[in-house]
Each structure stands twice: as structure tokens, then as C-alpha cells.
A = this chain, B = another copy of it.
């Protein structure tokens, strides 16, 4: 993915998406002694950054998408984004989701007009089902993280940050398949090479970290995690190569650290952020990132937490 592709994606998305706010966090800055900024991808339509790659993927191949429809597979946020983008563009969308995906995200995808195909709870079955539908129907396959169009869509966040913050900064990015951090790192290292990019995964699924340590994409068996958006067991080929080349550090966070971050963001910062979107703040609050006096940006990648789950996390704080 080239910086030119990222710039083209940005122009392509402008009629459909607004620049998301980058806000200074008073409570997180006070708590950690840094200058902390939050990029509010949770305020995107469908509540997550995934509308960027979904729209970009469809717009690049719009004729095929309109003629044959699209097929995608997702743990939830990409599913909702594909359904939303498809409705905006007059495209038919089928999305393969595991049966145990977040009910909120399955329901949200259907409400947006997406045709959800449920599969067994394995990545193997999810991909087999997806490829079978692609083959049989001729639908355009939109990859959730490992395609140039997806990474270029994700890179638009990096381009926005580069304009929104003048001083050099360190950005903390959640990792699942690695598309988001690949896009952001590609854009920033081209436009603002002095910026640092740090990836964060739940300790329950350190697939990218383990892959980088072993020098090749490896498959892990993710343990259960409240971060239902960060479940990819094997990094993408493309995203692994980009992370290996461009990302400065990778950090793991524990479940309780993620829960604390979600609680702090709701209680102190007044933002509803899903566990997968809060791992950057979790790493920061847990003291796992040493920013060395820089401005720090946390990408709040999504806000799609089940209200009952948020209620449970907030109530747990008090007991």
C-alpha cells in the first residue's frame, strides 16, 4: 500500500465520512502525567472505524460491487460497516459471522440491511464459507484487514492525525488482524516519520506480537476476552510485513486492565468505548507505555459494547 493510495482513499471517502474529532483528554492527562489525545472513531456511523475500509473497498470496485454484490466476513464491526456502506452505495451485501459473535453486532448488521450468514465458531469455517459464497456468487470479496483497499481506508486515520496534531506524537493502536495499525503506520511513517506507532493486543490474543517475535505469521488459539473485536488468530500476510517493518513496539494488556480502561473512559471521559477500542488506554493506564514527554494519541477504534455489558462493568466498579 503506497501513501498515494492512502491519499486517494481520503479523497474518495470525503463525500461519505467526516473527519472524526481528536480531543484532548483532561482526565487521562492528569492521571498519567502525559498530554493524551483521543481519536474518536467510536463516533463514526456504525460506531467504529471500519466504515473507512468498507467504503473504500466498495468504491474502488464500484461497478463490480453494484453488479454482483459484495461478500465479507467479520467479528462484527466490519460486518456493520459493510452493511452501512452497501446501503449508502446501493450494493447488496452478504456477511459471514460466527454464531458466537456479539449479538449487538449481528443485530446491528441486520438492521442496516446486511444479509448475515452465520457459520461455526472457527476462523476455518468462516473463511471456507466466505470463499465458497465468493466462488458460487461472483460477489466482490472485501477483506476485513489484509487487502490494499482496506489498509488504504484505515490509513486515512493516519492522514487525519497528521493534520490534527502539529507536534510529534506516539500513537497507540488496537490490533486484531493488523489492518488498522498497518494503515496508520504506513501513513504516519511517510508523512511524519518522527511519530511513533505502538500496537496493543489483549494478552488473551497476542497473535501479532507472537508472530513478530517468531519472524513469521503464526496462528494462536485466542483465549476468551472481553475485547470481542480483537479475535483474529493469525495476522494477515500484508499486515504482518507492514508491522514488522514500521511499528515501533507491541504491548499486551490483561482483561482487568481493559475493563478499567472502559470504566475510566465512561466514568471520567464520558465516552462509551468497547473493550477492543479501549486497549490503548488500558496500556497507558497500566503504565505499559513510556511516552518520554511526547503527546500520546489513543485510537478509540469502536464503541459497540452491549449496554448490559457496559452496565455490568460500571456496576462492578462500585462493589
- Chain A interfacial positions (CB closer than 8 Å to B): 18, 21, 23-24, 26, 40, 42-43, 45-47, 263, 266-267, 269-273, 303-304, 307-308, 310-312, 314-315, 317-318
Residues of B within 8 A of A303 (CB): 270
Q: Which of B270, B307, B310, B312 contacts A273 (CB 8 A)?
A: B270
Most interface-central of A23, A312, A314 (chain B CB within 10 A):
A314
Q: Which of B271, B304, B308 contacts A271 (CB 8 A)?
A: B271
* Closest residue of B by beta carbon distance from A38: B43
How near does chain B come to A312, taking the closest CB pair, in angstroms? 8
Are A307 and B271 also in contact (CB < 8 A) when A18-B24, A21-B21, A23-B21 are? no
Query: What would be 25 A-B contacts, judged by CB atoms less than 8 Å apart?
Result: A18-B24, A21-B21, A21-B23, A23-B43, A26-B45, A26-B46, A42-B270, A266-B272, A267-B272, A267-B307, A270-B272, A270-B303, A270-B304, A307-B314, A307-B317, A308-B314, A308-B315, A308-B318, A310-B311, A310-B314, A311-B311, A311-B312, A311-B315, A314-B314, A315-B315
Cross-chain contact B18 with A266 (CB below 8 angstroms) = no
* Bound CA–CA A271/B24 (angstroms): 16
Residues of B within 8 A of A24 (CB): 18
Most interface-central of A21, A47, A266 (chain B CB within 10 A):
A266
Residues of B within 8 A of A18 (CB): 23-24
How near does chain B come to A81, taking the closest CB pair, in angstroms? 12
* Bound CA–CA A18/B23 (angstroms): 9
Cross-chain contact B310 with A266 (CB below 8 angstroms) = yes
* Bound CA–CA A308/B263 (angstroms): 11
* Closest residue of B by beta carbon distance from A265: B272
* Closest residue of B by beta carbon distance from A46: B26
Are A318 and B314 also in contact (CB < 8 A) when A43-B270, A270-B42, A272-B271 are? no
